[in-house]
Chains A and B, each alone.
Chain A
């Protein structure tokens, strides 16, 4: 059974830092791209970042580029999100999501499993 368990959320002051972790089990972690997706209170889903299976390819939403860093430790089956220079607008539940490809007429990518989320609150 696939399980994704986020941790590391909490209350942090503006300008502060936080590192989120996502412990994965039930699948070959090193073979799959992983993403972070966030949801501000009462708002919709916002994709934050993706890291592909090798770990060398990473991409970010414009809203977090230069402040957040995604990484993975395939030996520990763990995904990370280092968040620096945090702003009140970064307040959200942060989900990690496992990606999967379906190879039909193209290479279709989707998020097939999600963690339960961890809440980050940026406030003084």
Chain B
């Protein structure tokens, strides 16, 4: 099975900060990597697919990069609504999709 490991597990930042979250796969997954945002009590929301493609309607301050085993999600200038938990997910193995453990982004 492909294991996805995110770092850090939690992060404190301020409005306006630039923040980067990383995700590492246990084997190469090319660009088969998606990012989701979840706020408390809500369903996850797709932000980035295929490692770097921005989902329609998602603000351009969100960007994704990487390929192979190492990926990152960057928020260029944090807004109050961005404080949430972020998950990466691999879709390389179409028989068994897996998520990272999540990164909780909190207000400093």
Contact = CB atoms under 8 A, between A and B. Distances in A.
B96 A61 contact: yes
Interface of B: 1, 30-32, 34, 36, 38, 43-46, 49-50, 53, 55, 85, 87, 89, 91, 94-102
A112 interface: yes
A112 to B, nearest CB: 5
Contacts of A62: 1
B43 A117 contact: yes
B53 to A, nearest CB: 7
Contacts of B102: 44-45
Give the dominant DSSP class at A's interface.
strand
Contacts of A115: 43
Contact of B53 (A47, A59, A102): A102
Nearest to A58: B95
11 contacts: A44-B99, A45-B87, A45-B99, A46-B99, A50-B94, A104-B50, A108-B49, A110-B89, A111-B36, A112-B46, A114-B44
A88 B22 CA distance: 32
B99 A95 contact: no
A2 B98 CA distance: 24
Given A59-B96, A61-B96, A45 B44 contact: yes
A114 B91 CA distance: 17
Interface of A: 35, 37, 44-47, 50, 59, 61-62, 95, 102, 104-106, 108-112, 114-117
A110 B31 contact: no
B34 A110 contact: yes
Nearest to B50: A108
A59 B1 CA distance: 13
A110 B101 CA distance: 17
A111 B32 CA distance: 12
Contacts of B31: 104-106, 108
